[in-house]
Amino acid sequence: MEIRALAQQAAEQLSSYPSVNAKERCKRLLKSGVLRQKTAPIDRFSWPCAMLGEGLLEAFSATGENAYLIASAGYLQRWKTRKFPIYYVDNIMNANLALRIEDAVLQGGENSFSAAGRQELLEICKEAQKACADWIVRSARTPDGILAYRQHHPDWVFADTLGMVCPFLCGYGVQKGEASFVELGVKQLMRFVEKGMDAKTGLPYHGYDEKTGLKYGIIGWGRACGWMLTGLEQSLRHLPKSHSSYGELLRAFQRLAASCVAWQRADGGLSWQLCAAEGPRDSSAEAMIGLAVARGRAAGLLQDCAGEAPDFYGSFTGRLRKRLESSCVQGRMGDCSGECRGFAEYPQNYGCYPWGTGGALAFFAAEKSFGKD
């Protein structure tokens, strides 16, 4: 069964990613110790690990297997042991994971832990959320008042940030009654809807330069679409419908979902760049987009004026699942594109990566939860 095998792989990757071989350790030692050059930290709590943790949580919700919740919680406990290091906005995804773990424990995961262990985990979740909230408060803003993807390029706004921080900003803000967090999350989404989209296709660019207004990267990079759909879908489920921007964000989610669905290939999959129909598939983009559409459909975010989600969304996720299943061999999710290096830097390497494993696990589990298994 895909869920069990993928969950085992996800748990293994969550405890070991990124692996640093002897050659890389020597290079880092030479650079820092001999050449006295600054080296980037080895970040074991970045977005790939957060995606693995979320995949395991989704699997717990679908199956009730305590081991999946325990593995995800163990990752959060390791983050606390390291004193919650936060290097980039990527790490804020762990705060959203903490929100979800907290909810899972309170809503049915109490049997996974002793009473003392349960209380300790709830405290860790709160500490993780607070650490990320404090980091966000201290972080510099762009002239538009939002978060840049990297501080050394303060005018560059990436689609990635929408999925990495907006769900936490909206979820934490609503839960704690912190209107400033909610408004920052909403503004982050709204500015990208206004400035980062391609009018002809309805798909996002990878990002834009806030200072010049230029849009960068390719149109319809699959994971950019996934990041944006994730940010919109998860944020909308936190926002009250009475919020002044709710309707506009809902329409943006519906437009983007429809635009992505329109690019489904004849084989049921999605290309690494959605418009490149004859290019390689990307299982990570398929999983991210499929998950957001499946969740949005189940939450009623894709209903038409008659109050029902059009049948083509169910057909889309069903065909997508079959295509993804073909890429899962012995618990390893293949056909996943490698890590992007920045605007217009998309290495054409395909294999097994954590973002493919975590995303596919979450998608398969969500489909099971919604009665598709």
Residue 154 preceded by cis peptide, ω within 30: no
How many angstroms separate the CA atoms of 317 and 255, rounded?
17
How many angstroms separate the CA atoms of 284 and 5, rounded?
17
Number of structural domains (the chain) is 1
**pLDDT attached to residue 151:** 85
Read off the tokens for 176: 């704690």
In a domain, 54, yes or no: yes
How many angstroms separate the CA atoms of 15 and 54, rounded?
14
In a domain, 199, yes or no: no
How many angstroms separate the CA atoms of 202 and 263, rounded?
11
Among 53, 145, 140, which residue's Cα sits nearest to residue 96?
A: 53
Query: Consecutive 10-residue runs of the chain (373 residues): their mean pLDDT?
Result: 90 90 63 62 93 97 94 97 96 98 84 87 97 97 94 93 98 97 98 98 97 96 98 98 98 97 97 96 98 96 77 94 95 95 90 97 92 50
In a domain, 367, yes or no: no
pTM of the model: 0.94
SS3 helix, strand, coil % of the chain, rounded to 5? 60, 5, 35
**Quick one: DSSP state of residue 84?**
-
| Four-point Cα dihedral 17, 18, 23, 29, nearest 10 | -130
Q: Which domain holds residue 123?
A: 1-139
* Inter-residue contact 280 to 335 (CB < 8 Å): yes
Write phi, then psi, for 249 (nearest 5 degrees). Answer: -70, -35
How many angstroms separate the CA atoms of 282 and 250, rounded?
26
In a domain, 43, yes or no: yes
In a domain, 370, yes or no: no
**pLDDT attached to residue 372:** 46
In a domain, 204, yes or no: no
Residues 6+ apart with CB under 8 A from 328: 2, 5, 6, 334, 360
**pLDDT attached to residue 2:** 79
In a domain, 369, yes or no: no
